[in-house]
Structure 1
Amino acid sequence: MQDTIRRHGSWRRAAGVVAAVLTVGAGTAVPAAADTDAPGYLTKMKAQEMWKVADGSGITVAVIDSGVTDLPGLKGRVLEGVSFMEPPVGRPDFTYPPHGDFIGHGTSMTAAIVGDGSAGSPQGLAPGAKVLPIRTSVGTPMAFMVPSEAARGIRYAADNGAKIINLSIGMDSSWPIDKVKPAVEYAQSKGLLIFAAMGNEGEGKNWTNAIAALPGVIGVGAIDEDGTAMPFSSHGPDTDLSSVGSKAQIRCDENKGWCTRNGGTSLATSLVSASAALVWSAHPDWTANQVARVLIQTAGAPTDGSKRSDWVGYGIARPRKVLLDHEGDPGAPDVDPLAPPAAAKTPAPGADSTASVPPRAEAADAHAGISWQWPALGAAVAVGLGLAVTVMVKRRRR
């Protein structure tokens, strides 16, 4: 593991103002405008070969995040969307457009999924898919409203054509998860597949995302280019799959240009969402349960022989195993593959969720990364969106 990797983020509190915070992560951010080559993880995942079979066409991914900036590399790939951001203090009638992004986090997630690689932007893993941007107050002094905004966004996605929901955002159990839970259940009843980042607090207290603990939600961890779980990747019994969380093109500070940084579990989640879009595009008659099942079955499993580990879950998402090698049994359309007893969210024999050295997964297929936390807007005082451990056995989708 590179010695430049540091823990992402910290908690800060002051004056009751709540906002999300971005820390630069590993090393120095280097502008990547001149680097237009596809990232290495696309080559390892055999993206070009997969796109001959399916490129995500016909699938809409709802990205519930900080919005999206209209950029050349996203032209024609982003739907109109909606904003649920609360108005600024003193301007109750003000509304924010969904195609706006103060911090660039949502734009980075969108590009990782559907970008076309032009104008120095990233090449997305599922370039034929569409992104439905749903803007929340992530990264602003109104970030304490994100849980209720995200809940509205989840319902909106379910009612407006999305098949997949990407949540590269998180909250701890002290936040009003009671608003998010029924929204998740509603989306699942409509047949949507939901992915949530585990968080970037794997070192220290290892706070994990409470959204990932909700029944049926697939929690995503981060690995590096060699298939090793990244030390900052939050981990626990709610980790189901993993993907690249190391260096990749993301929006620079203040959403100005593209930079190369560790992406963390945010990017990893976007890549797993894109993987699902590829599989679903090739098999449009499958249900969310079936898409999730084949992704789990074909994941690059932990190399210690465990069925799963708390660091990488069942392993690294490898959609090429489904599209090119025709592996995976979709199984019953109405049975959640994470439902007990098949996957009751308990460590497999031999798995050590507290190991100081993260395990490796068989993967050499996928690997790269965006920050879990986001910059505050004009506020000198802020607090990161906390991620506290919440463990719930995942049960069948409703």
Structure 2
Amino acid sequence: MIVAAWTVCAGTVMPAAADTDPRGYLTKMKAQEMWKVADGTGITVAVIDSGVKDIPGLEGRVLPGMSFMEPPFERPDVSYPPHEDFVGHGTTMTAGIVGDGSAGGPRGLAPGAKVLPIRTSVGTPMAFAVASEAAKGIRYAADNGAKVINLSIGMTQDWPMGKIKPAVEYAQSKGVLIFAAMGNEGEGNNWTNVIAALPGVLGVGAVDEDGQVMPFSSHGPDTDLSAPGGQVLNRCNGNKDWCVGDGGTSYATSLASASAALVWSAHPDWTANQVARVLIQTAGGPVDGAKRSDWVGYGAVRPRKVLLDHEGDPGVPDADPLASPAPAKAPTPSAEQTAAAPRRVESADAESGLSWQWPALGAVVALSLGITVLVKRRRR
């Protein structure tokens, strides 16, 4: 099954003008203070997704990019530009990283960064081609200046890994840091994204702006970090408006990617391993004192600890921090993060129409062999 690791709770979506502040996580993360130190300038984040629509708030922040979107069988002559988006998913991720906050949209966590849009068939009847398209996109990103690759798309079976895994290894050999959404099946089958199981890829779970675990967040040994994925601004109504709803692990992944851009912008001489290491070291660890948990990994990303408090030891440049026996400095418990098992949604909520399943945005490839999740082998 190839899907977008994204969901909007239909029961809670509301106009962006509602009283709910969907950008409260920026205040919690002390974004304004961080931007005085670094805002992502000099860092390119590749968003491999459904494309990016040219909308107010993204002007001058999105590079030309590339589309690997397959044309429909009956129209092989059709081409799709990277600066268009049928479903709004890639546009949402891009705004969460670099948006300027205008026209009702979100202010990105790394507004000085650039996004390299790479369009795939997510959200179309050609979605079965996403694995091949994403693999090409990963290589393109690595060859065209991306320091960070954001994969807020998911695959729940391991057969596409024959294409994805070599592309990931190629990008890593070029010094690129890759984040992948864990998925939004935490209350269902707990299907997890097999891309997050690949060595060296950072799997991202979702918490709310207070650091509480989101029950829908898929979880397991491949969860490495977490970030806000609750009530945020999403593109809705056919990618025509902004609405408030749960952004899921997709949005959380965009914030993790933006956090890496902030840290890398402040320390441009660091390697991908060093950026990953300090993000792990400074994450808001489980309140029970555990080093990590399957729900939040090493904890919620806190780039302010690096930029404002000067915490984190980047360590040696070539050692993968996920392969090390332990981070150089164990994450400290924080009121910003709890790893306690999330409260189960009561049956009354389920009856109201809440669903945290990954939406199949277009054709779904389902194999009768079932779902096989790769065991994560840390690279190097």
Q: Fold-level match, TM-score > 0.5?
A: yes
Counterparts in 2 of 1:321 and 1:132: CA distance versus 1, 3 Å: same
Q: What SS class does the counterpart of residue 57 from structure 2 fall into?
A: helix
Cα distance between partner residues in 2 of 1:172 and 1:272: 21
The equivalent of 2:217 in structure 1 is 233
Q: Percent identity?
A: 75
Show CA shifts across 1:190-232 (max 9, x none).
0000000000011132110000000000000001133121111
Matches within 5 A, 1:120-135: 120-135=104-119
**Partners of 1:39 and 1:78 in 2: CA distance:** 21
Mapped contact 2:180–2:201 kept (Cα < 8 A): yes
Deviation at 1:151, TM superposition (A): 0.2
Q: How does 1:342-381 map to 2 (within 5 A)?
A: 342=326, 357=343, 373-374=358-359, 376=361
Asked if the contact 2:5/2:249 (under 8 Å) is kept, the reply is no
- Correspondence 1:1-398 to 2 at 5 A: 24-25=8-9, 27-33=11-17, 39-342=23-326, 357=343, 373-374=358-359, 376=361, 382-383=363-364, 388=371, 390-397=373-380
Q: Is the 8 A contact 2:88 2:236 kept in 1?
A: yes
Tell me: CA distance 1:308–1:99, structure 2 relative to 1, closer, same or farther (3 Å). same
Q: CA deviation at 1:61?
A: 0.0
What letter is aligned with 2:188? G
Q: Is the 8 A contact 1:139 1:374 kept in 2?
A: no
Alpha-carbon distance in structure 2 between the residues aligned to 1:374 and 1:194: 23
Q: Which stretch shifts more, 123-132 or 247-256? A: 247-256
- Shift in CA distance, 170/128, structure 1 to aligned 2, threshold 3 Å: same
Distance in 1 between the 2:4 and 2:376 partners? 28
- CA distance in 2 between counterparts of 1:62 and 1:228 reads 28
Q: Is the 8 A contact 1:54 1:279 kept in 2?
A: yes
- 1:395 is displaced (CA, Å) by 2.1
Aligned to 1:7: none
For residue 87 of structure 1, give the secondary structure of its aligned residue in structure 2. Answer: coil
Amino acid at match of 1:219: G
Give the deviation of 1:312 after TM superposition.
0.2
CA deviations over 1:156-179 (Å, ceiling 9, x no partner): 000000000000001022431110
Question: Once the 2 structures are TM-superposed, how far is the Cα of residue 103 of structure 1 from its aligned partner?
Answer: 0.1
CA contact (8 A) 1:169 1:372 kept: no
Q: Which runs of 5 or more structure 2 residues have no equivalent in the other structure?
A: 328-338, 345-355
Question: Given the two structures, how large is their TM-score scaled by the length of structure 1?
Answer: 0.84
One-letter code aligned to 1:393: K
Aligned-partner Cα distance in 1 for 2:68–2:239: 20
Cα pair 1:201 1:232 within 8 Å, conserved? yes
Q: Give CA-to-partner distance per residue, 1:339-394, whole Å, 9 cap, x none.
A: 14337xxxxxxxxx995748xxxxxxxxxxxx8845646xxxx4388994624233
Cα distance in 2, alignment partners of residues 271 and 388 from structure 1: 28
Q: How many residues align?
A: 356
Q: Which runs of 5+ in 1 are unaligned?
A: 1-10, 12-17, 344-352, 359-370
Contact in 1 for aligned 2:205/2:295 (Cα 8 Å): yes
Paired residue secondary structure (1:336): coil
Q: Secondary structure at the match of 2:117?
A: strand
Distance 1:249 1:333, change over 3 A: same
Q: Indicate conservation of the 8 Å contact 1:249/1:258, yes or no.
A: yes
Change (3 A) 1:388 1:243: farther
Classify the secondary structure of the residue corresponding to 2:238.
helix
SS of the aligned residue for 1:72 comes to coil
Instruction: Give the Cα separation in 2 of the matches to 1:36 and 1:80.
Output: 34
Q: Which AA in structure 2 matches 1:66?
A: S
How far residue 272 of structure 1 moved from its aligned partner, in angstroms, is 0.4
Tell me: CA distance 1:393–1:341, structure 2 relative to 1, closer, same or farther (3 Å).
Answer: farther
Partner of 2:351: none
RMSD (Å), alpha carbons: 2.4
Checking the alignment, whether the CA contact within 8 Å between 2:48 and 2:118 is kept in structure 1 is yes
